[in-house]
């Protein structure tokens, strides 16, 4: 098993992302574990399904059940797409925060928004 810290384009709100993933988890196919701040699922790859556990806090760490460099690279790319880690959501959050209808829910520090302590609206 390989554990990799994943760089992100912007801040990550680990609590929000974990909650979102838990609400949409497929029973029997995904496991949300609030105690370990993680979410586990299978990721399809060219080498077959690979078990991935992402730990979401102020950053993102992926534990990938593979050692082959090509499989790791493909799995890591799939995790980046799954969690949209190449998008910096700060411009969108700022725009929404300036809109009267959504501003209060997107204000910095809100559970569904972002704060300066490395948070974004990606997962639980």
Burial letters for 112-121: b for 16+ Cβ neighbours within 10 Å, e otherwise? bbbeeeebbb
77-123 residue pLDDT tens = 999 999 999 988 788 777 777 777 765 565 555 544 444 333 434 43
Provide CB contacts within 8 A for 76, sequence distance 6+: 4, 6, 62, 64
Domain residue ranges of the chain, discontinuous segments joined by +: 2-106
Instruction: Find out whether 114 and 7 touch, Cβ atoms under 8 Å.
Output: no
Instruction: Find out whether 74 and 68 touch, Cβ atoms under 8 Å.
Output: no
Q: pTM here?
A: 0.75
Is CATH 3.30.420.40 correct for 2-106? Answer: no
Burial letters for 83-94: b for 16+ Cβ neighbours within 10 Å, e otherwise? bebeeebeeebe
36-56 residue pLDDT tens = 999 999 999 888 999 999 999
């Amino acid at each position: 098993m390989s554990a990799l810290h994943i760089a992100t384009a912007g801040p990550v709100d680990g609590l929000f992302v974990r909650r979102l993933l838990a609400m949409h988890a497929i029973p029997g196919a995904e496991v949300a574990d609030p105690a370990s701040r993680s979410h586990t699922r299978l990721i399809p790859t060219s080498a077959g399904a690979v078990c991935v556990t992402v730990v979401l806090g102020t950053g993102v760490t992926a534990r990938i059940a593979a050692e082959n460099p090509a499989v790791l690279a493909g799995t890591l790319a799939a995790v980046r797409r799954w969690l949209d880690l190449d998008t910096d959501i700060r411009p969108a959050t700022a725009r929404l925060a300036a809109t009267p209808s959504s501003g209060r829910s997107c204000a910095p520090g809100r559970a569904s928004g972002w704060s300066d302590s490395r948070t974004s609206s990606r997962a639980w």
